A and B are shown apart, each in its own frame.
Chain A
Amino acid sequence: MSRITHAFAKAQEEGRGALVVYITAGDPNLAVTRELVPVIARAGADVIELGMPYSDPLADGPIIQAAGQRALAAGTTVKGVLQTVHDIRSRCDVPLLFMTCYNPILQHGVADFAEDAADAGLDGVLISDLPPEEADEWTTAASDCALDRVYLIAPTTPPARARVIASRTSGFVYLVARTGVTGASAELAPELRGLVAHIREVSNLPIAVGFGLREPEQVRAACSIADGAVVGSAVVEIIARLGGAEDVFYAVQQFVGSLAQATRREAGTT
């Protein structure tokens, strides 16, 4: 069982959903990222998703785009992020999921990247613009290095396609709460419950809901229908506001703590 799958199983045992927290690596710089990851883990995140900043991120809303631009301006590179992951691993064993566009992996060399990512201590990779149709090379490289391969399933994904994606996935299924880019606020779409049920039919993997979740209440709702919730933009906003100031650690810790509280399920509602 991978570290990511284990984190979901442990949350399940404890009667709660798993909390996945996203931050952009290198925002405002990698030194802050290195300190922030253990803080977020201690505050109750079960999995931390580290975003690789990219010049042209198609799936990101304005908040995460801006974080990426700050991180790139601070000189963040793939090598730097992997070194930071390596540093974090010496003192923190929280499962780490790397989120990136495919091009940085392609330029690094697909097999080399998988090896370097696993060596650094990453547990899985979500490549936001790599659909399963184009993923043969990556699938081989990642499974050779025991990296989880997380894919998105969208509300608009037809059932047959969802089955194909689920069959390519390991770790957990990332269910997009609504159409569009990351970050914009929205109620949970009413059709999510049906989607979860459908994915359950074709996959035994845990399901986490993300995109547009900002509030503890939304996390509670997501955890009541799925196995976990992903929160990104709301955390990134705190980092944007406080930057590298010492306050950022306390503020993020408080906020993540409030999200973690909301993952607890009332008895009998699983």
Chain B
Amino acid sequence: MIVDEKTGKFGRFGGQYVPETLMPVIKQVEEAYFAAREDAGFRAELDHYLRDYVGRPSPLYLAERLSEEVGCKVYLKREDLNHTGSHKINNSLGQALVARRMGKPRMIAETGAGQHGVATATVAALFGFECVVYMGEEDIRRQAPNVFRMRLLGTEVRPVTSGTRVLKDAINEAMRDWMANPETTFYCFGTVAGPHPYPLMVRDFQSVIGREARAQILEAEGRLPTRLFACVGGGSNSMGLFHAFVSDSDVELIGVEAQGRGLSVGDHSATLSAGSYGIIHGSATYLLQDEDGQVQPAHSVAAGLDYPGVGPEHAFLKETGRARYLSVTDDEAIDAFVTLSRLEGIIPALESSHAVAQMLKMRGELREDDLVIVNISGRGDKDAEEISRLLAERGA
């Protein structure tokens, strides 16, 4: 199977399945991004903002009590310590610089957990873009603190009431906005899904996670890790971590999906584990669908994983066997959220808690000489209220 970055094909996955009304503007983004990618000035500018504004490199932290708990060394890649509290800023910053090169005055974005919305609102404030973020009504309820932050940053948060009122519907609305305003608007897409060039561009901007982690672990341990764990919704933090390790064939890549309440229709977001081949949001990939190709509703306690599609490059890594995709339930993720908080004093995002939960689940398999990196893609402050509600429900 062939990867062609120029056309955004990862084997039979990827591509550009969008209405003609969007095609010309997507081609513009493609052209602008490929030009920027080759431009040393662009890269220097991005590096500058990543260092001095975002605070990179993010630490790779040896979690001692967690290591003791599972019986091998576990490092945490601390994307939660980035400005705005998640890995999303790596991508929003990169795309904002592309938008600025294109001379677009307005940015739009979708958001689920609100982390990508906050990151985009932040760079919009930084560079003076007008900014509109689409967010499902249900997610607005679940992630109120992030809604407040976006508004504070000068962004308009537009509630999405169509469809299932979550992330996928927010993407639909943002695409419709883009179709209506192609001249003025840049769509800052939050994950490694969507039409080409987004899967490639977002992966490139997020790949700083893995590049840093690889150098940091070599420096700390003098060897490569044996296993990487990262959560997968659309898949940007995991692709960001995995990318630098894809050709290190001894490093096992483990993507962790949201099994929600179980693998029945409407109860989970485990697209790679339980979905099938088709098209969603402009890309050929795995998705949750019925036999007519209608997209089925997804569920996860973590709003950022509540998505019935997944990035095409993940579908490719699954199909080629290079990465493994497993899933954990809402309850397992909530337990891991509490465990990491109490063992390490680090409150992870509910999304990242899925990666922690999978590692904890596999502790029986881990040997003493295993060397693990778990991506803590974001901080959990935004989830505190929802978690306390859920724990109260459970009677804990």
Residues of A within 8 A of B (CB): 54-59, 61-62, 65, 72, 77-78, 101-108, 128-131, 133-134, 151-154, 156-158, 161, 165, 176, 179-181, 184
By a CB distance below 8 angstroms, the chain A residues around B25 are 156
**Is the CB of B255 closer than 8 A to any CB of chain A?**
no
* 8 residue pairs, one from A and one from B, having the closest CB atoms: A180-B180, A103-B293, A107-B293, A59-B19, A152-B20, A104-B293, A156-B24, A55-B294
By a CB distance below 8 angstroms, the chain B residues around A130 are 17
- Asked if residues A102 and B279 are in contact (CB atoms below 8 Å), the reply is yes
Q: How many A-B residue pairs have CB under 8 A?
A: 109
By a CB distance below 8 angstroms, the chain B residues around A153 are 20
Chain B binding surface, main DSSP class: loop
- Asked if residues B19 and A54 are in contact (CB atoms below 8 Å), the reply is no
**Known contacts A58-B172, A129-B17, A157-B20: does B182 contact A78 (CB below 8 Å)?**
no
- Asked if residues A181 and B180 are in contact (CB atoms below 8 Å), the reply is yes
By a CB distance below 8 angstroms, the chain B residues around A151 are 20
By a CB distance below 8 angstroms, the chain B residues around A180 are 21, 176, 179-180
Within the complex, which residue of A106, A131, A158 is in contact with B278, where a contact is CB–CB below 8 Å?
A: A106
By a CB distance below 8 angstroms, the chain B residues around A154 are 20-21, 23-24
- Asked if residues A179 and B179 are in contact (CB atoms below 8 Å), the reply is yes
By a CB distance below 8 angstroms, the chain A residues around B182 are 156, 179
By a CB distance below 8 angstroms, the chain A residues around B22 are 58
Within the complex, which residue of B23, B169, B295 is in contact with A131, where a contact is CB–CB below 8 Å?
A: B23
Within the complex, which residue of A58, A108, A156 is in contact with B176, where a contact is CB–CB below 8 Å?
A: A58
By a CB distance below 8 angstroms, the chain A residues around B281 are 56, 58
New contact pairs (9) apart from A58-B176, A131-B18, A133-B7, CB-CB < 8 Å: A58-B281, A59-B19, A103-B278, A104-B294, A108-B293, A129-B17, A129-B19, A179-B21, A179-B182
**Is the CB of B291 closer than 8 A to any CB of chain A?**
yes
Give the CA-CA distance A72 to B95 in the complex, in Å. Answer: 37
**Known contacts A55-B163, A180-B180: does B19 contact A152 (CB below 8 Å)?**
yes
By a CB distance below 8 angstroms, the chain A residues around B282 are 58, 129
By a CB distance below 8 angstroms, the chain A residues around B280 are 56, 103
Q: Which residue of B lies closest to A100 (CB)?
A: B293
CB distance from A205 to the nearest CB of B (A): 16
21 A-B pairs in the complex with CB atoms less than 8 angstroms apart: A54-B293, A54-B294, A55-B163, A55-B294, A57-B172, A58-B172, A58-B179, A61-B176, A62-B162, A103-B278, A103-B279, A106-B277, A106-B293, A107-B278, A129-B19, A129-B279, A158-B24, A161-B23, A165-B20, A179-B179, A180-B180
Within the complex, which residue of A104, A131, A181 is in contact with B179, where a contact is CB–CB below 8 Å?
A: A181
Q: State the interface size on chain B (CB cutoff 8 A).
A: 35
By a CB distance below 8 angstroms, the chain A residues around B181 are 179
- Asked if residues B21 and A78 are in contact (CB atoms below 8 Å), the reply is no
- Asked if residues B162 and A102 are in contact (CB atoms below 8 Å), the reply is no
Q: Which residue of B lies closest to A103 (CB)?
A: B293
- Asked if residues A131 and B21 are in contact (CB atoms below 8 Å), the reply is no
Give the CA-CA distance A176 to B19 in the complex, in Å. Answer: 11
- Asked if residues A131 and B17 are in contact (CB atoms below 8 Å), the reply is yes
Within the complex, which residue of A56, A134, A152, A158 is in contact with B163, where a contact is CB–CB below 8 Å?
A: A56
From residue 274 to 303 of chain B, which have CB atoms closer than 8 A to chain A? 277-282, 289, 291-295
CB distance from B209 to the nearest CB of A (A): 30
**Is the CB of B168 closer than 8 A to any CB of chain A?**
yes
CB distance from B396 to the nearest CB of A (A): 36
CB distance from B351 to the nearest CB of A (A): 22
Q: Which residue of A lies closest to B176 (CB)?
A: A181
- Asked if residues B16 and A107 are in contact (CB atoms below 8 Å), the reply is no
Q: Which residue of B lies closest to A158 (CB)?
A: B24
CB distance from A63 to the nearest CB of B (A): 12
By a CB distance below 8 angstroms, the chain B residues around A102 are 17, 279
- Asked if residues B24 and A131 are in contact (CB atoms below 8 Å), the reply is no
Give the CA-CA distance A179 to B19 in the complex, in Å. Answer: 11
- Asked if residues A107 and B21 are in contact (CB atoms below 8 Å), the reply is no
By a CB distance below 8 angstroms, the chain B residues around A176 are 20-21
CB distance from B94 to the nearest CB of A (A): 24
Within the complex, which residue of B18, B172, B179, B292 is in contact with A56, where a contact is CB–CB below 8 Å?
A: B172
- Asked if residues B180 and A72 are in contact (CB atoms below 8 Å), the reply is no
By a CB distance below 8 angstroms, the chain B residues around A58 are 18-19, 22, 172, 175-176, 179, 281-282
**Is the CB of B15 closer than 8 A to any CB of chain A?**
yes
By a CB distance below 8 angstroms, the chain B residues around A77 are 292
Give the CA-CA distance A254 to B111 in the complex, in Å. Answer: 44
- Asked if residues B295 and A56 are in contact (CB atoms below 8 Å), the reply is yes
Q: Which residue of A lies closest to B9 (CB)?
A: A134
Give the CA-CA distance A101 to B282 in the complex, in Å. Answer: 10
Give the CA-CA distance A77 to B291 in the complex, in Å. Answer: 9
Q: Which residue of A lies closest to B18 (CB)?
A: A129
By a CB distance below 8 angstroms, the chain A residues around B292 are 77-78, 104, 107-108
Give the CA-CA distance A115 to B306 in the complex, in Å. Answer: 37
CB distance from A27 to the nearest CB of B (A): 15
